[in-house]
Amino acid sequence: MKRNICLIALLLWLITSAVSTWLFVQGWTRPGTDGRTEILLAQAERDQILAEMRLLLKTVDGMLRGLGEPEIDWHAMAMIAREAGMGMAAEVEPTIMAKLPLPFKQLGMSIHKDMDALADAIAEGATTQEIVRRLSDITARCTACHEMYRLGESR
């Protein structure tokens, strides 16, 4: 009897682990009508992800505007980049993260990490050209993500 209970418990654990791993990698997705993968989120979750994307776009805009000023405020530039770093990513709810496919999570986290690295580079005296190159690398990943995914609404 004990052996059967142990086997059932082990089987349930394996099934739960497999489903959890599949969901972590696949997320809550379906093929989109436009060739992209549609990530299915509740309206509030979708709003939160879109708000984060807008904040990242505002960060890039603020940095480019700052670089265009006759007197660049390097400290402010570093602070703008830092605000979009990993600290921002830590605020995303785990339930939302579970619904996002792994490549989407990887792209997003790499952007936040690179914002922190950009803030460090600015603090260490990076040139304007180096900052623009780093921003270009970041926005290339934004574009790639938008080409692969769209946010849909779960019912």
**Nearest in space to 100 (alpha carbons), one of 145, 41, 153:** 41
Residue 10 confidence (pLDDT): 65
Residue 93 confidence (pLDDT): 84
> Alpha-carbon distance 48 to 60, whole Å?
19
Residue 80 confidence (pLDDT): 96
For residue 41, the 8-state DSSP code is E
Look up residue 37 and give its two tokens.
């993968």
Percentage of the chain lying above the pLDDT 70 cut: 88
Summarised one tens digit per residue, pLDDT across range 113-154 is 999 999 999 999 999 999 999 999 999 999 999 999 999 988
> Alpha-carbon distance 104 to 145, whole Å?
7
Residue 72, burial from CB neighbour count under 10 angstroms (0-12, 13-18, 19+): middle
Looking only at the bridges linking them, the beta strands covering 37-41 and 29-31 are antiparallel
pLDDT class of 2 with cuts at 50, 70, 90: confident
Residue 22 confidence (pLDDT): 55
Residue 50 confidence (pLDDT): 95
Summarised one tens digit per residue, pLDDT across range 6-36 is 777 666 676 665 555 555 556 789 999 999 9
> Alpha-carbon distance 57 to 88, whole Å?
13
List domains and CATH numbers for the chain: 2-153 (1.20.120)
The answer to whether the CB of 33 falls within 8 A of the CB of 144 is no
Summarised one tens digit per residue, pLDDT across range 52-75 is 999 999 999 999 999 999 999 999
